[in-house]
Amino acid sequence: MPAPASPPRILVVDDDEGLLILMAETLRAEEFEVTTAVSAQAARAELAAAPPDLMILDLKLPDGAGPGLVADLQRDREPVPFVVVTGQGDQKVAVEVMKQGALDYVMKDTALLDLLPAVVRRALAGVHAERALAAAQAEQKRLEREIIAVSERERHSIGADLHDNLGQQLTALELMCTMLKEDAAGNAPLAAGLERMCRMLREAIMQTRFLARGLVPVGEDPDALHIGLAALAERTNSLRGVRCRFKTSGATTFPDPFRAGHLYRIAQEAVNNALKHAKAGEVVITLAQTDRELWLEIADDGVGMPKAKAAVPPGIGLGVMRHRANVIGAELELGPTRGGGVTIRCRLSLSP
């Protein structure tokens, strides 16, 4: 049998000791756990000792007042949800404090004690809903990361099978075909057929290696992203009618294979979109890193962004890129390239 939930803890802060006692007793009658403080200094001590579920705060204390008081009490700790109590004529101050995060405010008048329990319950309900939403969003991100991690593991497994199994078998067949071609040197039609077979096997081997590299783009090394993007540019540059360059300010070290893999996939998707949809003749991949940020940019000279809807081009490619950027906590921007085309920029903060 689960233990009964403890009642919400309320901290009431007011320098009017008589009103403070009345507010505390009113809330205790509603089965809240209540502690009190008569000054900002006493409130800071209570917040440091045990942060409450909600704070009821008078905006005029002997050692602090208004928005400055709120900023002072919330400094250097996790912000505590709060409701403000204010006197007549201080509504403007209360509105300013609402902009700082106050959940509600209640006036110091004859209806204060009658309204206070309902105000507190409404504020606590809002806090509970916000925390539940934050927990659901965190769980959603965790599941997204888990699903993508499973997908990446499957890609690695398929890539390894292509390289180690199918690739090796095709290579063995090419060697056998080469030996047979030597044995058939006196039979010109048979030798020609075996030569065609050898050429087709070599092309199949190249395609298999290309697919394997695409499925396992980056490894575990800190410079794997740098190497992977350079290889992507080289493979793309080998296509007919396309120039692809990789630019960087130097060797980039990024010891996070999970995020490196997503950055590579963003670049890969951007390059594919540039070739398939934008009909680009040149693509430039740029990778730059500082102590605080890592920048990835893919610029093309294609047909550019649609005229009617400048926000997004058609297709799901951009949606996939945005999703990958969101999973790793990066920012993705889309804009026109100078002289035509589209530039996709991905910025990842490296700060703790």
Give the least confident one: 28-42, 70-84, 144-158, 283-297.
Answer: 144-158
The chain-wide mean pLDDT, for the chain, equals 83
Amino acid at 178: T
| Cβ proximity of 302 and 341 under 8 Å | yes
pLDDT at 284: 94
What is the rounded distance in angstroms from the CA atom of residue 275 to the CA atom of residue 317? 12
Report the DSSP pairing between strands 282-289 and 293-300: antiparallel
Q: Which of 109, 137, 152 is the last residue of a domain?
A: 109
Q: Is the dihedral of CA 154, 160, 161, 167 positive or negative?
A: positive
Is 209 within the bounds of a domain? Answer: no
Both structure tokens of 27 = 């809330």
Q: Provide the percentage of residues in the chain whose pLDDT is more than 90.
A: 25
pLDDT at 215: 67
Q: Which of 93, 109, 125 is the last residue of a domain?
A: 109
pLDDT tens for each residue of 289-342: 888 899 999 999 988 776 654 444 445 678 889 888 988 889 999 988 887 889
The alpha carbon of 196 is separated from its chain's Cα centroid by a whole number of angstroms, namely 50
pLDDT at 316: 66
Max Cα distance, the chain (Å): 115
Is 70 within the bounds of a domain? Answer: yes
Both structure tokens of 306 = 């649609």
Whichever domain contains 85, its CATH number is 3.40.50.2300
What is the rounded distance in angstroms from the CA atom of residue 57 to the CA atom of residue 135? 27
Q: Which of 66, 92, 109 is the last residue of a domain?
A: 109
What is the rounded distance in angstroms from the CA atom of residue 254 to the CA atom of residue 227? 11
What is the rounded distance in angstroms from the CA atom of residue 313 to the CA atom of residue 309? 8
pLDDT tens for each residue of 164-217: 788 888 888 888 888 888 888 788 888 888 888 888 888 888 777 767 766 666
Is 41 within the bounds of a domain? Answer: yes
Q: Is the dihedral of CA 176, 181, 183, 189 positive or negative?
A: positive
Concatenated DSSP letters for 206-227?
Answer: HHHHHHHHHHS---SSTTHHHH
Amino acid at 333: E
How many domains would you assign to the chain?
A: 2
Whichever domain contains 285, its CATH number is 3.30.565.10
In terms of pTM, does the model score above 0.85?
no
Concatenated DSSP letters for 266-311?
Answer: HHHHHHHHHHHTS--SEEEEEEEE-SSEEEEEEEE-SS-S-SS-SS
CA dist list (Å): 214 to 38, 103, 222, 252, 350:
66, 51, 19, 20, 26
**Beta partners for 248?**
287
Asked whether residue 132 carries a pLDDT value surpassing 50, the answer given is yes
Highest mean pLDDT among 96-100, 153-157, 302-306, 322-326: 322-326
Length of the chain in residues, anyone? 352
Is 125 within the bounds of a domain? Answer: no
| Cβ proximity of 313 and 342 under 8 Å | yes
Q: Domain range spanning residue 231?
A: 218-352
CA dist list (Å): 238 to 162, 210, 235:
21, 12, 5
What is the rounded distance in angstroms from the CA atom of residue 240 to the CA atom of residue 210? 16
Concatenated DSSP letters for 179-206?
Answer: HHHHHTTT-HHHHHHHHHHHHHHHHHHH
CA dist list (Å): 101 to 35, 71, 127:
22, 10, 11
Is 177 within the bounds of a domain? Answer: no
* DSSP state at residue 133: H
Long-range Cβ contacts of 94-103 (<8 Å, 24+ apart): 94/59, 96/66, 96/67, 97/59, 97/66, 97/67, 97/70, 100/67, 100/70, 100/71, 100/74, 101/70, 101/74, 102/70, 103/54, 103/127
pLDDT at 214: 63
Is 57 within the bounds of a domain? Answer: yes
pLDDT at 119: 92
Is 127 within the bounds of a domain? Answer: no
Is 341 within the bounds of a domain? Answer: yes
What is the rounded distance in angstroms from the CA atom of residue 337 to the CA atom of residue 8? 55
pLDDT at 236: 87
